[in-house]
């Protein structure tokens, strides 16, 4: 449908959408608030309100869509119900408000002020505390709060106790917290001039929109509109440059497969390809997803020929890779050891073997004989043996009696292993040393291991079971 909503006499400045009740709330530069409802295919004014004292700086419906909180620039706060009743109001003395956010359970309200503070109140309007903004340490210049966004958990969480509350300032300083009282937030300096931040619908990707200065030819530089994408744990996922003079706002599509960007007088749409956790082995699709109310990931083994499905529950799934008749799932341990778990499955979901490693893999690859897991600085390989290839004697005495020395190896990406002198050594301490050129990707065949580094260097290991015959090449810029 295409309908012009007439009712405001000034520029519309704040918009809030109620997904549960399909209602639109708008406010203009004069402080007029209109709630619009859809009736028989057309939009009509359902309610109108105007304090005639100040302008609205923020409006937010709670996760269930039953309450709306409206904050005015002069410190006034109004909380009302979806049917138009005023539940309570409050005047915050000496405070100029800029934005508002509900907690997922609707028990807490966060008020952002123009003095780089965030005040925490309960749902009845009682003051609780001020948020500890560690991201502003050592910041002396005047800053502006540009966003408070709290993922509501409707689609489950990527991990147990996953950070879901993001706070960002215009100078690019941001922190992501587990809750409003989290004393150990994820701190990020985006290096941007930020305009807005938005979670996707699963709380796995945070979009940060604004502008950033990039080096150009010679000693010159150029400012670009850019959207940076982060994980809840602060890992930078992607950057997207956008043409135009000024990027003002961004918003996700409901399924998070597209993002819209308001630039000047235009709206740009960008397709988003999520990093799904999945693989295909022996006519079986293996995929993992989160489910509301469950701590574990749901891992499904779906035989596409027989249409049989086998469901497993695995905590902290990080990566999945597959090849031939097997797949490997990488997860994290529950304890504070920092170890990762590599679990080898067959196509019907039966665990074949498990390894614990002192690395945090960012990529995993699988061949018919090897599992390769790489962190940012190290490469780990595990040579496994398929039950189909076991001899009768090995079946009786147990597979894999060759010893750990010949089956697992680990080395730092800057080392040049010969394959002869380092057999049997699993020195994870050396593997955790830093490097100037991080690993960004890896892939394998049955004979070759290829590791890509951020500088464009490709390391190719032939007969990689012993890490011999290494070749390095540089990709063109």
pLDDT of residue 217: 72
In the predicted structure, residue 98 carries a pLDDT above the cut 90? yes
- Backbone angles phi and psi of 310, in degrees to 5: -115, 130
In the predicted structure, residue 407 carries a pLDDT above the cut 90? no
pTM over 0.75: yes
Residues in the chain: 477
**What band does 343 get if pLDDT is binned at 50, 70 and 90?**
very high
- pLDDT per position as a tens digit, 220-262: 888 999 999 999 999 999 999 999 999 999 999 999 999 999 9
- pLDDT per position as a tens digit, 175-223: 999 999 999 999 999 999 999 999 999 999 999 999 999 887 777 888 9
- pLDDT per position as a tens digit, 413-429: 888 665 544 445 577 88
pLDDT of residue 92: 93
pLDDT of residue 405: 42
In the predicted structure, residue 465 carries a pLDDT above the cut 70? no
pLDDT of residue 468: 53
CB neighbour class for 43 (10 Å; exposed up to 12, middle 13-18, buried from 19): middle
Alpha carbon 65 to its chain centroid, in Å, reads 25
Alpha carbon 154 to its chain centroid, in Å, reads 15
Q: What sign does the dihedral 230-231-235-238 (CA atoms) show?
A: negative
Higher pLDDT, 2 or 477: 2
**What band does 402 get if pLDDT is binned at 50, 70 and 90?**
very low
Q: Tokens 């995993």 map to which residue?
A: 364
Q: Are 272 and 260 in contact (CB under 8 A)?
A: no
Higher pLDDT, 73 or 1: 73
pLDDT of residue 425: 57
Span of 105-109, 164-168, 380-384 with lowest mean pLDDT: 380-384
- pLDDT per position as a tens digit, 3-26: 899 999 899 999 999 999 999 999
DSSP of 336-359, one letter per residue?
Answer: TT--EEEEEEETTS-EEEEEEESS
- pLDDT per position as a tens digit, 313-339: 999 999 999 999 999 999 999 887 889
Count other Cβ atoms within 10 Å, centred on residue 200.
Answer: 21
**What band does 295 get if pLDDT is binned at 50, 70 and 90?**
confident
pLDDT of residue 197: 97
Q: What sign does the dihedral 15-16-17-21 (CA atoms) show?
A: negative
Identify the CA nearest to 204 among candidates 166, 148, 260, 241.
Answer: 166
The alpha carbons of the chain give a radius of gyration, in whole angstroms, of: 27
Q: Tokens 């080395």 map to which residue?
A: 411
Q: Are 355 and 370 in contact (CB under 8 A)?
A: no
Q: Are 102 and 80 in contact (CB under 8 A)?
A: no
Instruction: Report the mean per-residue pLDDT for the chain.
Output: 89
């Amino acid at each position: 449908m295409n309908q012009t909503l007439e009712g405001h006499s000034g520029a519309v400045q704040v918009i809030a959408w109620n997904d549960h009740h399909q209602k639109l709330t708008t406010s203009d530069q004069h402080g007029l608030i209109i709630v619009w409802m859809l009736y028989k295919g057309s939009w009509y004014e359902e309610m109108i309100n105007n304090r005639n004292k100040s302008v609205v700086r923020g409006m937010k419906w709670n996760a269930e869509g039953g309450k709306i909180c409206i904050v005015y620039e002069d410190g006034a706060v109004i909380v009302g119900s979806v049917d138009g009743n005023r539940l309570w109001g409050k005047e915050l003395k000496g405070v100029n408000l800029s934005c508002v956010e509900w907690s997922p359970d609707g028990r807490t309200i966060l008020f952002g002020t123009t003095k780089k503070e965030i005040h925490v109140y309960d749902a009845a309007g009682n003051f609780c505390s001020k948020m500890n903004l560690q991201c502003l340490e050592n910041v002396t210049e005047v800053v502006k709060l540009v966003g408070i966004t709290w993922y509501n958990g409707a689609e489950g969480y990527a991990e147990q106790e996953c950070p879901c509350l993001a706070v960002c300032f215009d100078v690019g300083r941001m922190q992501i917290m587990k809750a409003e009282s989290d004393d150990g937030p994820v701190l990020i300096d985006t290096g941007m001039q930020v305009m807005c931040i938005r979670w996707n619908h699963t709380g796995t990707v945070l979009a940060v929109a604004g502008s950033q200065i990039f080096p150009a030819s010679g000693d010159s530089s150029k400012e670009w509109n850019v959207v940076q994408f982060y994980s809840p744990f602060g890992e930078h996922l992607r950057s997207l440059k956008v043409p135009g003079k000024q990027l003002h706002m961004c918003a996700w599509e409901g399924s998070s497969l597209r993002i819209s960007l308001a630039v000047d007088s235009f709206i740009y749409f960008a397709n988003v390809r999520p990093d799904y956790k999945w693989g295909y082995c022996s006519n079986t699709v293996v995929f993992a997803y989160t489910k509301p109310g469950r701590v574990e990931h749901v891992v499904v083994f779906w035989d596409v020929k027989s249409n049989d499905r086998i469901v497993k529950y695995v905590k902290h799934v990080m990566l999945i890779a597959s090849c031939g008749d097997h797949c490997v799932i990488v997860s994290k341990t529950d304890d504070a050891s920092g170890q990762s778990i590599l679990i080898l499955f067959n196509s019907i979901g039966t665990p074949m073997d498990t390894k614990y490693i002192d690395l945090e893999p960012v990529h995993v690859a699988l061949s018919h004989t090897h599992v390769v897991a790489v962190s940012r600085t190290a490469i780990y390989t595990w040579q496994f043996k398929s039950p189909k290839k076991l001899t009768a004697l090995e079946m009786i005495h147990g597979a894999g009696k060759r010893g750990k020395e010949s089956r697992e190896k680990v080395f730092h990406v800057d080392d040049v292993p010969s394959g002869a002198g380092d057999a049997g050594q699993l020195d994870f301490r050396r593997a955790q040393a830093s490097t100037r050129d991080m690993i960004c990707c890896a892939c394998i065949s049955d004979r070759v291991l290829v590791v890509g580094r951020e500088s464009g260097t490709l390391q190719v290991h032939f007969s990689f079971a012993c890490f011999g015959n290494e070749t390095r090449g540089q990709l063109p810029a």
